[in-house]
Amino acid sequence: MRWIDGLEAAAGEKLAEPVHRYFRQGSAGGVSAGEAVAAWSSYRFRPRVLTDVSTVDISTSVLGTPVDLPVLVAPTTLQRQADPSGERAMAAGVRDAGSLLAVSSNAGTTFADIGSVGTPWWVQIYVVKNRDITLKMLDAAVAGGARAVVLTADTPVVGRKEDDGPTVWEVIQPGDLLANLDADDYPDEDLAKADDLTPDVIGWLTERTGLPVLVKGVLRGDDAKRCSDAGAAGIIVSNHGGRQLDGAIPTAQALPEVAAALAGTPTELYVDGGIRRGEHILAALALGARAVLLGRPALWALTVAGSAGVTRLLTDLGEELEHAMRLAGTPTLAALTPDLIAR
Ligand SMILES: Cc1cc2nc3c(=O)[nH]c(=O)nc-3n(C[C@H](O)[C@H](O)[C@H](O)COP(=O)(O)O)c2cc1C
């Protein structure tokens, strides 16, 4: 068994049960969360033979930042439950693998603190009803060295989770969440997610931060094009790990349509959700993604082995990708094209 395959169960030995459940769970009936991995495994390849694969190069750049591998870490909350050093440990693990981290706006560590680790990072933002709160957070992220803004667009309301037993909110500590916001200063309605967003928000975020904006949570080609036309520097095809609209299509299935819609635009394409193997990354890159992001696997690795676990997760998957590229007869990332996938 691969080390990666044992992580979820091993993390269950260390985490409080409601936290383990929260990390694992999807929304509502758990349909989207349950089928994400299988959707990647359902692709079949058309490998090339008699190509020189003695050297394989998986280094690339993401919105101009060089990375050693096309495997990044997605924004997730409650990292202090996984490791006492929380986002700092996650960032150190990502740094040592030569990758890039997206940091949740609900992080339990200040952006300044995360920035001081020296890892390239993007800030994920939920725009909330009181835009002053969003702007304050963005100012702190810019000051902490964030290189891009990831606008999560699939969350006008938070997907309903169905819990058997105490919820995570009953067991976490006050410092685990929202270190970048004085939540007590605002009424709940100010902090609620904005449910009136349009593509105009992309220009607003770009202008206010001076940073490129990626839109996360896109599952349709027409939406990707609307975002690109509105100035999005990147699109992240995502169904939020199956935690928003249950029954939303697997990202493995959505990716080709989005790639087709973005063809000929400068907008970079990323994907997350259910990516667990080198072959899944091979498929994602062949179908047009520039890099993939990992959510739950990074939380499990952080729980089980701290920052070294995160580094191992990323480097293991990078090695699996290299191995798969050799077997597919594709020594460079540029050689990963849609014809590698059987229709
Ligand atoms: C415990 C948990 C917390 C998450 N928190 C956030 C968040 O704060 N912001 C966000 O945009 N996405 C969040 N996500 C979604 C991830 O960024 C990502 O889209 C998803 O986990 C990818 O699927 P995977 O877990 O199968 O890799 C969260 C996911 C999990 C599992």
| Domains of the chain, each with CATH number or no CATH | 4-45+69-328 (3.20.20.70)
Ligand 1 pocket, residue 91 CB under 6 Å: no
Residues 191/128, Cβ–Cβ less than 8 Å: yes
Question: Ligand 1 centre from 23 Cα, in Å?
Answer: 9
Question: Ligand 1 centre from 299 Cα, in Å?
Answer: 10
Ligand 1 pocket, residue 294 CB under 6 Å: yes
- Residues 20, 240, 280, 323: which is the catalytic one? 240
The predicted structure's pLDDT at residue 177: 87
Question: Ligand 1 centre from 20 Cα, in Å?
Answer: 14
Rounded Cα distance, 22 and 38, in Å: 21
Residues 41/250, Cβ–Cβ less than 8 Å: no
The predicted structure's pLDDT at residue 185: 86
Write the residue with the smallest CA distance to atom 7 of ligand 1.
76
The question of whether 240 is a catalytic residue gets the answer yes
pTM confidence score: 0.98
The predicted structure's pLDDT at residue 173: 83
Write the residue with the smallest CA distance to atom 28 of ligand 1.
76
Rounded Cα distance, 12 and 266, in Å: 42
Residues 301/312, Cβ–Cβ less than 8 Å: yes
The predicted structure's pLDDT at residue 183: 77
Ligand 1 pocket, residue 76 CB under 6 Å: yes
Question: Ligand 1 centre from 49 Cα, in Å?
Answer: 38
Query: Hey, how many other C-beta atoms are within 10 angstroms of the C-beta on 195?
Result: 10
Rounded Cα distance, 121 and 144, in Å: 10
- pLDDT by 10s per residue, the chain, length 343: 999 999 999 999 999 999 999 999 999 999 999 999 999 999 999 999 999 999 999 999 999 999 999 999 999 999 999 999 999 999 999 999 999 999 999 999 999 999 999 999 999 999 999 999 999 999 999 999 999 999 999 999 999 999 988 999 988 888 888 889 887 789 999 999 999 999 999 999 999 999 999 999 999 999 999 999 999 999 999 999 999 999 999 999 999 999 999 999 999 999 999 999 999 999 999 999 999 999 999 999 999 999 999 999 999 999 999 999 999 999 999 999 999 999 8
